[in-house]
Amino acid sequence: MSRHDQIVEFITPYFEAQFAQSCNMLEKKMQESGAEFALRCLQPFMKLLNAAHETQKSAYLCISGIKSGVLTGNYQLRLDLYDESYLLDENPITQYWDIGFLFDGFDRDIEALTEQLQTEFVSLRDSEMRLVRLRYCAYYFALARKLCAEFAGVIGEMLAAFEFDASCQILFGDYLGEMARIGPDGA
């Protein structure tokens, strides 16, 4: 077993408990800010729909996490509106959504996980910590997916208000990769 595999095998059982702590703090913050939080979340979608209004591209709204941001500290989701040709659409309408507020505890979590790793591994290489960051970010992107799914109904209403096609599918997943429907009709 490679050292990377050993590190992943050792630290993965700690992911869930660490994330649960951060998630509880984040949920408190979201509840405290109420409507302000909802407006903050919906603003990037409004910008996207404003930009797309003239083109009427609305067959697919794809939301995807940008994993490189986990390494750079620039946490974003990419929002794309495609026409019926989906990924073959040569000019999708794109907007980026800064979700740094969702990743508020990420760096603290990584510090705690690093301390846990150092009980078993004396020194850790940058490449090993990048691997841990990329594995652990799945929890935060799952939270982003849950948030987008909760707002999918409102996003659908926004599409209708802009007179876009009512059959627009809202998808969440990896950019140019696997996507799944979210919202009232999806997962």
Whether 152 contacts 184, CB under 8 Å:
yes
Whether 36 contacts 101, CB under 8 Å:
no
pTM equals: 0.87
For the cut 80, the answer to whether the pLDDT of residue 60 exceeds it is yes
Q: What is the mean pLDDT of residues 127-141?
A: 94
Percent of the chain with pLDDT over 90: 48
The SS3 call for residue 170 is strand
Q: Sort strands 76-82 and 93-98 into parallel, antiparallel or unpaired.
A: antiparallel
- Cβ within 8 Å of residue 72, ≥6 positions away: none
Q: What is the mean pLDDT of the chain?
A: 88
How many CB atoms within 10 Å of residue 95? 19
169-174, strands of its sheet edge to edge: 93-98, 76-82, 60-65, 169-174, 179-181
Radius of gyration over every alpha carbon of the chain, rounded to an integer in angstroms: 18
Angle between helices 3-52 and 106-117 (to 10 degrees): 170
Task: List strand residue ranges (DSSP E) for 90-186, in order.
Answer: 93-98, 169-174, 179-181
pLDDT of residue 185: 59
How many CB atoms within 10 Å of residue 76? 19
For the cut 60, the answer to whether the pLDDT of residue 187 exceeds it is no
Query: In terms of Cα–Cα distance, which of 110, 178, 168 is closest to 139?
Result: 110
**What CA–CA distance (Å, rounded) separates 160 from 168?**
10
Picking from 39-43, 44-48, 119-123, 164-168, which range would have the lowest pLDDT averaged per residue?
164-168
Q: What is the mean pLDDT of residues 21-43?
A: 85
**What CA–CA distance (Å, rounded) separates 87 from 185?**
22
**What CA–CA distance (Å, rounded) separates 108 from 136?**
12
In the chain, helix, strand, coil percent, each to 5?
55, 15, 30
What are the domain boundaries of the chain? Answer: 3-181
pLDDT bucket at 50, cuts 50 / 70 / 90: confident
For the cut 60, the answer to whether the pLDDT of residue 113 exceeds it is yes
pLDDT of residue 184: 55
